[in-house]
Amino acid sequence: MTELPRNTDDLNAIAVEWLGALSDALSNGDQTQLEFLFQQDSHWRDVLAFTWHLTTVNGASKVAAALCGAQLEIKATRFEIDPDRTPPRLVHRAGDETLEAIFRFKTALGRGSGIFRLVPGPQGPTGWMFHTTLQELKDFEEKTGWNRPKGESYARDFGGPNWLDQRIAAQAYDNRDPAVIVVGGGQAGLDIAARLGQLGVDTLIVDKHKRIGDNWRNRYHSLTLHNEVHVNHMPYMPFPETWPTYVPKDKLANWFESYADAMELNFWTNTEFASGSYNDKDQKWTVTLRYGDGSERIMRPRHVVMAVGVSGIKNIPDLPGLDDYAGTVVHSTEYADGEPWEGKRALILGTGNSGHDVAQDLHSHSAHATLIQRHPTTVVSVEPSGQLVYGLYKEGPPTEDCDLIVTSIPFPVLKRTYQMIVKESQKADKELLERLDAVGFKMDVGEESTGFQMKYLQRGGGYYLDVGCSQLIIDGDVGLLQFDEIETFVAQGARLKDGKIIPADLLVLATGYKGQQDLMRLLFGDEIADRAGPVWGFSEDGELANMWKRTGQPGLWFIAGSLAQCRIYSKYLALQIKACEEGIISLELEPETSTAIAAE
C-alpha cells in the first residue's frame, strides 16, 4: 500500500484492524507478530501504563520485546478506538502523512489512553509511533463530573463544621503533617496540588512570596504571556472565553489566587522551605519551614515536590572589574520597571528573553539601554513563528486530545518536528533576521537546527521571542555591544578594548539561573543532590531528566515547565505519588530493570 485512504470510514476500519491485531499479538505474547505490526523505524513512548516510567523505546524489534515483556505484568486488555475522542484521521507529523488514532485500554491496575500512528507499508498500513499512558488508577478515580462529592457533610450535621470550618482546619495543619509538601506555588505547584487533591492526597504548598501569584506579579511591568491563552489552561479550570489571547501577568497572578481558593488548595504564603533531610528507615522527610517572621515549623511528609521553577539561584557571572563599578547592579529578577531610570544609561548583560524585555522596558521609560551579547541567540518573532510549535492546539481537537498528542511524540520525531519549524520560522522571519544580522547581532538556530523550543528543553534559555526589541536594536534605539569587545568594568561603566568607555548608571545581569541541582545541594546537601541526579535537559533515552517521575532519591519529585507542560505532566506525577501512597509502587526507583528499559 503506497497511500492511506482519504475517507473516514476506511481510516476507521484500518485503525480498528491494526489495533485488534496488536491486541491479539499482545495477549498471545506473540513477539514476532507484534514486530511485524511496526516499521523498522518505529517508537513506543510509555507514560506509566506499562512500565511505571516515562520511557521511550525505538526500533520495531525492541518495541515488540519491551511490550511483550511488560504485558506479562500489566495485562493490558480491551483495546478499542476511543469513541469519546477525536476519531482516526489523516494528519502530518514531522512532515509525514500518517493515520493518527486515539484508543483506550484497561490494565490490571487502571485505565489507559494511547495514540498510534500508521504509515503505508509494503504489506499495508504499519505502525510508526505507539503511545500508552495511564489515565486512572482503579478504585482511586478522581471525584469529578458524575463522580463529584455530594457535599452533604457540610450541611447535615447542624452545628458541626461546615465547609469553611473544614477548609480552615485543613489549611492550618495544627495536629497533623501533610503527606506531600510542594515547594513553590507557581503554576507547577498549583497544578500538582490540585491533581493530588482530587486523588485525596493531603498536600500543602509553601511559597516564600507574600501573596499567591507574586511569582508573576513581581515580574516586569509590561509582561504578558508569550504564547496564546488556549495553550495555557490549568487543570480542571480553563481560563474564561473572554480572556485576551496574550494574558497579562497580573491577570494571571490574580487567577492563581482564585484557583487556589476554588480548588481548595492548602497554601502557606510567606513560608520558605529552608532545608530537608531524609530518613531511609521510615521513608519520611524532616523538613524545616521558615515563616516570614523567622519562626520555624518542622514537618515530616513522605514526599517533597520541588516546584521552584528555574529561578532558584541567580547565575551571577564572574565579570572583570565588576567590584570597581560604581553604578547599580541588579539581576534581571530584581528589575521591576524602568521608571526610576528615565534619562539614565543602562547596560544589560544577556540577550535572552529577559535581557531583551528589560532593554525594551528601559527604552520605553526613556532610558538609554544597551544590550551586551555574550553568545549567539535564537531569535523568532512571537507571532507567527513563536506560535508554530503550538499549531496543534489550533487543529481542532479538544485540549485533552491535544495534550495526549503532545506526550505521544518521541524524542527523535520531536527533533525532526522542531527542525521543520525552524525552517518555516526562518522563512517567515527572513527580513527581521537579515536586518539583525546587518547590525551585528549574532544568531544561531540551536543544536542541529532544532530552534528555540529545544533550547528551552535542553537548557531553559538562549533565545528571544521578539515582541519588539529586535526592531529597536535594528533602528539603533537600543544599543548593542559584543561582550568580547569589553576589556573590563570600571567605575563609570564598561571600558572597551579600544579604550573607549561606555558609561552606565545601571547594569542589569540578565544572565539566567543555576540549575535545580545547585538548589538541591543548598536545601538538601550533596548526598541527596547526587542521589537524585541532574534535573531538566534530556537524558539518553530522550526523556527530560528526572522530571515528573521517581528520582534516585525516594520521595523527591520535580515539576516545572510551561503552563501546558505543568497541566499535562502534573496528572502523571500525581498518579505516581498516589500509587506510592497506596503501596502500588515502591518509593524507591527500581534499578533500570523494567522490561521496557531493559529492551532499549
Ligand X SMILES: Cc1cc2nc3c(=O)[nH]c(=O)nc-3n(C[C@H](O)[C@H](O)[C@H](O)COP(=O)(O)OP(=O)(O)OC[C@H]3O[C@@H](n4cnc5c(N)ncnc54)[C@H](O)[C@@H]3O)c2cc1C
For 168, residues 6+ apart whose C-beta sits below 8 A from its C-beta are none
Question: Is 560 one of the binding residues for ligand X (CB under 6 A)?
Answer: yes
The SS3 assignment for 57 reads strand
Nearer to ligand X, 313 or 329 (CB): 313
Cell of 593: 530493570
Which region, judged by CB under 6 A, interacts with ligand X, from 38-46, 179-187, 291-299, 536-544? 179-187
Q: Which of 205, 170, 166 is nearest to 189 (CA)?
A: 205
Minimum gap (Å) between residue 229 Cβ and ligand X: 9
Minimum gap (Å) between residue 125 Cβ and ligand X: 36
Question: Is 311 one of the binding residues for ligand X (CB under 6 A)?
Answer: yes
Cα torsion angle, 298, 300, 301, 303, sign: positive
Nearer to ligand X, 182 or 597 (CB): 182
Helix axis angle for 563-581 and 187-198, nearest 10°, is 40
Question: Is 381 one of the binding residues for ligand X (CB under 6 A)?
Answer: no
The SS3 assignment for 538 reads strand
Query: Can the peptide bond before residue 384 be classed as cis, meaning omega within 30 degrees of 0?
Result: yes
Which region, judged by CB under 6 A, interacts with ligand X, from 51-59, 68-76, 144-152, 185-193? 185-193
Cβ atoms of residues 15 and 27 within 8 Å? no
Binding residue count for ligand X, defined by CB under 6 A:
30
Nearer to ligand X, 337 or 485 (CB): 337
Question: Is 401 one of the binding residues for ligand X (CB under 6 A)?
Answer: no
Nearer to ligand X, 51 or 387 (CB): 387
How many DSSP H helices and E strands does the chain contain? 17, 25
DSSP letter string, 110-121: EEEEEEEEEEEE
223-246 b/e with 16+ CB inside 10 Å = b? bebbbbbbbbbbbbeebeeebeeb
Minimum gap (Å) between residue 566 Cβ and ligand X: 7
Question: Is 100 one of the binding residues for ligand X (CB under 6 A)?
Answer: no
Q: Which of 184, 228, 225, 229 is nearest to 206 (CA)?
A: 184
Taking CB under 6 A as the criterion, the residue among 309, 350, 461, 515 binding ligand X is 309
Binding mask 194-213 for ligand X (x = CB under 6 A): ------------xxxx----
Question: Is 308 one of the binding residues for ligand X (CB under 6 A)?
Answer: yes
d(CA 571, CA 196): 8
Minimum gap (Å) between residue 306 Cβ and ligand X: 8
Question: Is 225 one of the binding residues for ligand X (CB under 6 A)?
Answer: yes
Nearer to ligand X, 59 or 276 (CB): 276
Question: Is 312 one of the binding residues for ligand X (CB under 6 A)?
Answer: yes
For 340, residues 6+ apart whose C-beta sits below 8 A from its C-beta are none
- Phi, psi at residue 488, to the nearest 5°? -165, 160
Q: CA angle, corner 13, sides to 7 and 18, nearest 5?
A: 125
Helix axis angle for 399-407 and 563-581, nearest 10°, is 80
Question: Is 387 one of the binding residues for ligand X (CB under 6 A)?
Answer: no
Binding mask 470-489 for ligand X (x = CB under 6 A): --------------------
Question: Is 227 one of the binding residues for ligand X (CB under 6 A)?
Answer: yes
Minimum gap (Å) between residue 302 Cβ and ligand X: 19
Max intra-chain CA distance, the chain:
83
Tell me how far the alpha carbon of residue 16 is from its chain's centroid.
33
Question: Is 392 one of the binding residues for ligand X (CB under 6 A)?
Answer: no
Question: Is 563 one of the binding residues for ligand X (CB under 6 A)?
Answer: yes
Minimum gap (Å) between residue 559 Cβ and ligand X: 7
Nearer to ligand X, 89 or 365 (CB): 365
Rg of the Cα atoms in the chain: 26
230 phi-psi bin (left φ>0, alpha ψ -120 to 50, beta other): alpha
Question: Is 457 one of the binding residues for ligand X (CB under 6 A)?
Answer: no
Which region, judged by CB under 6 A, interacts with ligand X, from 306-314, 422-430, 529-537, 547-555? 306-314
Minimum gap (Å) between residue 191 Cβ and ligand X: 8
Binding mask 245-284 for ligand X (x = CB under 6 A): ---------------------------xx-----------
Minimum gap (Å) between residue 230 Cβ and ligand X: 12
Question: Is 186 one of the binding residues for ligand X (CB under 6 A)?
Answer: yes
Minimum gap (Å) between residue 289 Cβ and ligand X: 8
Nearer to ligand X, 101 or 564 (CB): 564
d(CA 29, CA 318): 59
Write down how long the chain is: 600
Cβ atoms of residues 207 and 265 within 8 Å? no
Nearer to ligand X, 181 or 504 (CB): 181
Taking CB under 6 A as the criterion, the residue among 184, 338, 446, 512 binding ligand X is 184
Binding mask 229-248 for ligand X (x = CB under 6 A): ---x----------------
Minimum gap (Å) between residue 220 Cβ and ligand X: 8
d(CA 50, CA 106): 11
- CA dist list (Å): 258 to 28, 212, 266, 320, 382: 51, 9, 13, 47, 29
d(CA 6, CA 123): 18
Binding mask 344-363 for ligand X (x = CB under 6 A): ---------x---x------
Residues contributing to the site for ligand X (CB under 6 A): 183-189, 206-209, 215, 223, 225-227, 232, 272-273, 307-309, 311-312, 353, 357, 560, 562-564
